[in-house]
Amino acid sequence: MHVQVGIVGAGPAGLVLSQLLHRAGIESVIVESRSRAYCEGRIRAGVLEHGSVNLLNAAGLGERMMREGLVHRGIYLRFGGRSHHVDFTELTGKSIMVYGQHEVVKDAIAARLAAGGTILFEASDVSIERFDTAQPSIRFRDAGGNAQRLACDFIAGCDGFHGVCRPSVPAGVLTFYDRVYPFAWLGILADVPPVCEELIYSNSERGFALFSQRSPTVQRYYLQCTPDEDLGEWPDERIWHELQARLAGEDAPHLIEGVITQKGVTAMRSFVTEPMQFGRLFLAGDAAHIVPPTGAKGMNLALADVVALAHGLERYYRDHSMATLDVYSASVLGRVWKAERFSWWMTSMLHKFDDQNPFDRKLQLAELDYITSSHAGAQSLAENYVGFAMT
């Protein structure tokens, strides 16, 4: 088997890359270790930046998103028992879209398969080789257990943080920048009406809480918890009690409790790989960088990476020039680091830190007060949240 671009991973990065390449007349094959049902059911991100919405529309993946996605013009920051609105549309002229990552994945899988694209689900023993030459390849066992070798011109490593591509680069080539946070998020999906018309990021004495949405009848909520939290200790009643407590205060919105259909714990870290390429291997999305989820940047960064990578590959096949691919990493890392800074800042401002002294706590509240009372402060949050233009 030979294909122009071999893609490892059918998350948002791999799928949207494959779609962008297809529209540019470039063939790709995706090798994915999980089943289609698993990829389509994996509950993760929910917020699309303004530029991500435009990208999905331009790539022909936006039809259902535009029908079912929820357009939000801002968010609420809640602290000291009160909610404060940050109106992105007033501050930047832009809005965001609340649309589950697994819906983006479903739409992209459907589009690729409808166009005759190949996604090899349930591949095992995936490895990449010879990517320091002009003939790289991906080896794996297909769903039937047969050994396969996919020869390609380039490999896109879109296999997430725990994938095989990044660890395959020889030692000493890549530099890693890392921070692990002393807390995690317990995320739930519940069949209830929304607590508010927009998202609420709540800084509470009991720890952070986030009230997000998925549809008029399904909501997504998160609670700050410990990294080794045992879900068995979180029966539904405890989750609702804690959400209510972290929303309490003078103007507390009315939180309606109901059936919880999904629970999970997400670790929080910041991580960047530099450079994001080696030979004919190009890393994109979580394979190259991780942000803590506060600020909703992970999926958006993955999409911005593959736009740049698709441009580089288009140039190669059009002009036989490596010029754009050679600077792929440099061209995306500025955006990556801005998102790292923003996600770290939102995380630091909104969470409870066990080693926080009273002075630190006062500073945190002063920061929230500044952001919600100063036009310049609010605008800075808004422009980062709606996202910078994709190149």
Single out the residue of 78, 220, 280, 335 in contact with ligand DHB (rule: CB under 6 A): 220
Binding part of the chain for ligand DHB, among 43-51, 128-136, 225-233, 349-357 by CB under 6 A, reads: 43-51
Q: For the chain, give percent helix, strand, coil, nearest 5.
A: 40, 30, 35
285 binds, among ligand DHB, ligand FAD, none (CB under 5 to 8 A by kind): ligand FAD
Give, as ranges, the residues between 171 and 190 that touch ligand FAD (CB under 6 A).
185, 187
Out of 19, 28, 92, 101, point to the residue binding ligand FAD (CB under 6 A).
101
Which are the contacts of 382, defined by CB distance < 8 A and separation ≥ 6? Answer: 74, 86, 87, 88, 91, 92
Check if 38 is active-site.
Answer: no
Whether 293 is catalytic: yes
Measure the CA dihedral 66/69/74/75, to 10°: -170
- Amino acid identity, residue 159? D
Give the tokens for residue 62: 């936006």
Least separation in angstroms between CB 348 and ligand FAD: 17
Binding mask 41-80 for ligand FAD (x = CB under 6 A): ---xxxx---------------------------------
Sole residue written with tokens 């921070």 = 179
User: Least distance to ligand FAD from the beta carbon of 126, Å?
Assistant: 4
Tell me the two tokens of residue 162: 């725990």
In Å, the largest CA–CA distance within the chain is: 64
Q: Give the whole-angstrom CA distance, residue 55 versus residue 104.
A: 12
Annotated active-site residue 72? The verdict is: yes
Would you count residue 46 as binding ligand DHB (CB under 6 A)?
yes
Identity of the amino acid at 251: D
Residue in the block written with tokens 């800074």? 341
Q: How far is the CB of 45 from ligand DHB (least distance, A)?
A: 5
Q: Is 50 a catalytic residue?
A: no
Q: Minimum distance from CB of 138 to ligand FAD (Å)? A: 9
Query: Is 201 labeled as catalytic in the residue annotation?
Result: yes
> What length does the chain have?
391
Closest residue to ligand DHB: CB criterion: 46
Catalytic residue among 297, 311, 328, 351: 297
Give the integer Cα–Cα distance in Å for 309 and 200.
34
- Which residues are catalytic, by number? 72, 201, 293, 297, 385
